[in-house]
Structure 1
Amino acid sequence: MQVRSFQLADYRAVTSLLQSVLSEDCYDETKEALSRQLSWDSDLVLIAQDGDQVTGIIIGTIDNNRGYYYRVAVHSDYRGRGIAKGLISGLRSRFEQRNVSKILVTADKHNEPVLTFYSSLGFEPSDFYHSFQKLSIVAG
């Protein structure tokens, strides 16, 4: 598995992956946030690839000098292989290179099912961002 920066040529494979693993509501919200993040800072969107197959994606953003894991998605055929951990680790490195003051996990209604996964990686409840104010990539 290779973790790398998103490239424009990945767009079709990524949107197909997101559509296959996210609910319709979550997909619509995520696709909009992905487009916004790509226009602002594409280095915070990472892809996992196995050969020529896109197997996962993580979308991050920086808002008020804080790094946020916004959405992680892994193709259902590739789950349980450490792909999400690799994506999270790769994005953490990018956040650390930019000296963010804190790294948080966005805890919106769509991320609730994966919060236990983040907890298993050492994230504490105080690392989950529950807010009525949306991140810039979501709010515009």
Structure 2
Amino acid sequence: MNVRSFQLSDYRPLTALLEDVLTEECYEQTMEAFARQLSWDSELVLVAVEQSEIVGMIIGTIDNNKGYYYRIAVLPSHQRRGIGKALIQSLRQRFEQRNVMKILITADEYNEPVLPLYEAMGYASNDFYRSFQKLSIIAG
């Protein structure tokens, strides 16, 4: 498995992955944030590739020297195999390379099921950013 930055050729398989994994409302919000993040900084959108198939993705953003994990998604058939952890670690490295002072996890209603994954990686409840604002508002 390889984690790398999003490339334009990833667009269709990535949107298919998101459609498969996310609810309709979450998908719409995520696509809006995804498009906005690509226009700001595509290096913070990472994909996990296994045998030339996109099996996972994570969207991050930086605002006021804080890094935010916004949305993570892994194909159900590939979950519980370390892909989510690899995506989180890779994005954390990007944040650290940019001297981010604090890393937060966006804890909206859609991310609640994955918060235990972040906790297993050493993040605590005070690292969860609970807001009703969308990414487009947070980093806009």
TM-score computed with the length of structure 1 as normaliser: 0.95
Match of 1:8 in 2: 8
Residue 23 and residue 46 in structure 1: after superposition, are their counterparts in 2 closer, same or farther (change >3 A)? same
SS of equivalent to 2:100: coil
Structure 2: which amino acid aligns with 1:103? I
Structure 2: which amino acid aligns with 1:127? D
Structure 2: which amino acid aligns with 1:115? L
Match of 2:108 in 1: 108
Residue 136 and residue 32 in structure 1: after superposition, are their counterparts in 2 closer, same or farther (change >3 A)? closer
Verify the 8 A CA contact 2:4 2:48 in the aligned structure 1.
yes
TM-score computed with the length of structure 2 as normaliser: 0.95
- CA RMSD in angstroms comes to 1.4
Residue 133 and residue 23 in structure 1: after superposition, are their counterparts in 2 closer, same or farther (change >3 A)? closer
Verify the 8 A CA contact 1:33 1:138 in the aligned structure 2.
no
Verify the 8 A CA contact 1:48 1:87 in the aligned structure 2.
yes
Verify the 8 A CA contact 1:33 1:137 in the aligned structure 2.
no
How many pairs are equivalent?
A: 140
Distance in 1 between residues matched to 2:114 and 2:129, nearest whole Å: 13
Moved over 6 A (4+): none
Distance in 2 between residues matched to 1:13 and 1:98, nearest whole Å: 28
Match of 1:33 in 2: 33
Verify the 8 A CA contact 1:48 1:54 in the aligned structure 2.
yes
Q: Which runs of 5+ in 1 are unaligned?
A: none
Residue 18 and residue 41 in structure 1: after superposition, are their counterparts in 2 closer, same or farther (change >3 A)? same
Deviation at 1:109, TM superposition (A): 1.0
Deviation at 1:73, TM superposition (A): 0.2
Distance in 1 between residues matched to 2:42 and 2:95, nearest whole Å: 13
Distance in 2 between residues matched to 1:58 and 1:82, nearest whole Å: 14
Query: Which residues in structure 2 correspond to 1:57-96 (within 5 Å)?
Result: 57-96=57-96
Distance in 2 between residues matched to 1:133 and 1:16, nearest whole Å: 25
Match of 2:126 in 1: 126
Give me the identity figure in percent: 63
Verify the 8 A CA contact 1:55 1:75 in the aligned structure 2.
yes
Distance in 2 between residues matched to 1:137 and 1:61, nearest whole Å: 12
